[in-house]
């Protein structure tokens, strides 16, 4: 009898325990209550709405876009990012998703910090940001990132480079960077580069106006720098002759034909269609002048990447996400860069923000974009592939052209204690390519101190 009573009591306790467990499960929330209040009390309602109405300047500082630009972008991406409410919960609106992503790109804040500001769980944020970044690139790319597809369009690019930077036959400035990221989970040595860092490689082609015409983010495994250009789809297109690049033409004021070319730095190989500086510290005046003119043409890509890293603070430190998401983030930032260059250059990239030449003082002035360190972006290593004789001949042709021009304009190269400067009798290029003729005085074109001079 006692055993029966004990058994009944044990069964009663078991039933009671299971009943309590079911009640506990019912009490668990689908999401935290403070997260459910995001539509009424999140940052979106309290700040963005006020800024859009009362302080557009601060809104630009907060998400880089003014009210009109924000609405234009929101209208474009909404069909790709909008979610519907369910019986269980309200969906995060398209406006919230876009604002959250723009804030992340602008500041690089952690997901947990953004979660507190926007009232959205950090797990959901980790899926929202790459989705919205892909939508931004998908909608803006056809309108604002355009690689020329006809000979006439390429000729227009070359004409712009010649009028703004005095570099003939130039189809764009190439530049490459390593975008650092935190070690992805379970990645082993994948994406582990030669310097012991995890990164993906980024290559861009920039026009004379510091706008991106082409971007490629290499997310393949073991994305080492050697062979970055060989894996680039732009190289494949150039080698396959599918870009409608015009045939070689005479260099201005000469009867010598020269192919249309890109300009790059030491990270790229010297090719017939890709010019890079002479290596080391050139001893001859002619080589010094060529390197100087090529570096001026390349300033447009250096400015573009400098603006990108300075305005989009997500690149200020290694990005904590997957390689594919790093690619989506980078492509979205590039698309927004071109969008803002075209719609609000004066506020997005004013003259003092980028590197420029002071033609009165004869020196290069560094822009405000260098004020903050960007430890999440680094230069690519130099490419050591030996050039062909044809590539060397093209560089020699251009060197000869620049030195004929230098002699015509009265260039003096001054030496002193291993340093040089170039003095030109006329200065014809400023930051935006305005032509300025002045034959009344010599002007320094670099910041070197002379000791003795040679014509």
pLDDT of residue 3: 66
Which CA distances in Å does 425 have to 150, 358, 438? Answer: 38, 15, 7
Burial of 441 (0-12, 13-18, 19+ CB in 10 A): exposed
pLDDT of residue 356: 78
Which of 217, 220, 137 has its CA nearest to residue 176?
Answer: 217
Place of tokens 């080391």: 280
Pairing outcome for strands 170-180 and 199-206: antiparallel
Place of tokens 């000469």: 254
Q: At what angle do helices 122-144 and 323-348 cross, to 10 degrees?
A: 60
Query: What distance in Å separates the CA atoms of residue 109 and residue 124, rounded to the nearest whole number?
Result: 15
pLDDT of residue 334: 98
- pLDDT tens-place values along the chain, 455 residues long: 566 676 676 777 777 777 776 665 555 544 555 455 555 555 555 666 666 666 666 788 889 999 899 999 999 999 999 988 777 778 899 999 999 999 999 999 999 999 988 889 989 999 999 999 999 999 999 999 999 999 999 999 999 999 999 999 999 999 999 999 987 665 555 555 555 578 889 999 999 999 999 999 987 655 455 578 888 999 999 999 999 999 999 988 888 899 999 999 998 999 999 999 998 887 788 999 999 999 999 999 999 999 999 999 999 999 999 999 999 999 999 999 999 999 999 999 998 888 877 766 657 788 888 887 677 888 888 777 788 899 999 999 999 999 987 777 655 454 444 445 554 444 443 333 333 333 223 333 332 222 333 33
Which of 67, 95, 66 has its CA nearest to residue 82?
Answer: 95
Which of 153, 214, 228, 223 has its CA nearest to residue 193?
Answer: 223
Query: What distance in Å separates the CA atoms of residue 68 and residue 56, rounded to the nearest whole number?
Result: 9
Torsion of CA 119, 84, 45, 32, to 10 degrees: -20
Pairing outcome for strands 363-365 and 412-416: unpaired
pLDDT of residue 62: 86
Q: Which residues of 287-303 are buried (b: 16+ CB within 10 A; e: fewer)?
A: bbbbbbbbebbbbbbbb
Query: What distance in Å separates the CA atoms of residue 286 and residue 398, rounded to the nearest whole number?
Result: 10
Query: What distance in Å separates the CA atoms of residue 290 and residue 285, rounded to the nearest whole number?
Result: 9
pLDDT of residue 55: 63
């Amino acid at each position: 009898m006692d055993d029966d009573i004990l058994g009944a009591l044990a069964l009663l306790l078991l039933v009671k325990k299971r009943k309590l467990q079911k009640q506990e499960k019912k009490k668990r929330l689908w999401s935290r209550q403070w997260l459910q209040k995001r539509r009424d009390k999140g940052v979106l309602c309290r700040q963005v709405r006020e800024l859009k109405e009362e302080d557009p300047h601060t809104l630009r500082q907060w998400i880089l876009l003014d009210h009109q630009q924000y609405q234009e972008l929101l209208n474009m991406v909404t069909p790709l990012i909008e979610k519907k409410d369910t019986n269980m919960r309200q969906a995060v609106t398209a406006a919230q998703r876009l604002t959250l992503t723009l804030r992340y790109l602008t500041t690089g804040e952690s997901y947990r910090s953004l979660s507190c500001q926007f009232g959205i769980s950090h797990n959901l944020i980790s899926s929202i940001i790459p989705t919205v970044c892909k939508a931004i690139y998908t909608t803006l790319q056809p309108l604002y990132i355009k690689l020329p597809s006809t000979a006439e369009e390429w000729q227009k690019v070359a004409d712009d480079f010649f009028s703004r930077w005095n570099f003939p036959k130039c189809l764009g400035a190439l530049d490459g960077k390593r975008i650092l990221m935190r070690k992805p989970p379970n990645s082993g040595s994948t994406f582990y580069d030669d310097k012991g860092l995890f990164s993906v490689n980024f290559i861009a082609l920039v026009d004379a106006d510091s706008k991106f015409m082409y971007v490629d983010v290499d997310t393949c495994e073991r994305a080492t720098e050697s062979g970055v250009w060989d894996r680039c789809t732009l190289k494949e297109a150039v080698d396959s002759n599918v870009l409608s690049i015009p045939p070689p033409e005479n260099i201005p004021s000469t009867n010598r034909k020269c192919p249309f070319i890109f300009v790059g730095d030491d990270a790229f190989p010297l090719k017939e269609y890709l010019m890079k500086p002479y290596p080391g510290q050139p001893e001859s005046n002619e080589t010094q002048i060529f390197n100087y003119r090529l570096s001026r043409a390349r300033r447009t890509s250096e400015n573009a990447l400098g603006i990108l890293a300075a305005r989009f603070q997500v690149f200020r430190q290694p990005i904590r996400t997957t390689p594919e998401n790093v690619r989506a983030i980078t492509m979205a930032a590039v698309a927004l860069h071109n969008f803002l260059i075209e719609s609000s250059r004066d506020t997005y990239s004013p003259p003092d923000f980028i590197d420029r030449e002071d033609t009165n003082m004869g020196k290069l002035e560094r822009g405000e974009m260098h004020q903050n360190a960007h430890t999440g972006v680094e230069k690519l290593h130099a490419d050591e592939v030996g050039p062909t004789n044809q590539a060397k001949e093209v560089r020699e042709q251009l060197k000869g052209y620049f030195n004929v021009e230098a002699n015509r304009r009265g260039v003096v190269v001054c030496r002193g204690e291993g340093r040089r400067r170039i003095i030109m009798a006329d200065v014809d290029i400023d930051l935006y390519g305005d032509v300025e003729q002045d034959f009344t005085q010599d002007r320094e074109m670099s910041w070197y101190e002379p000791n003795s001079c040679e014509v």
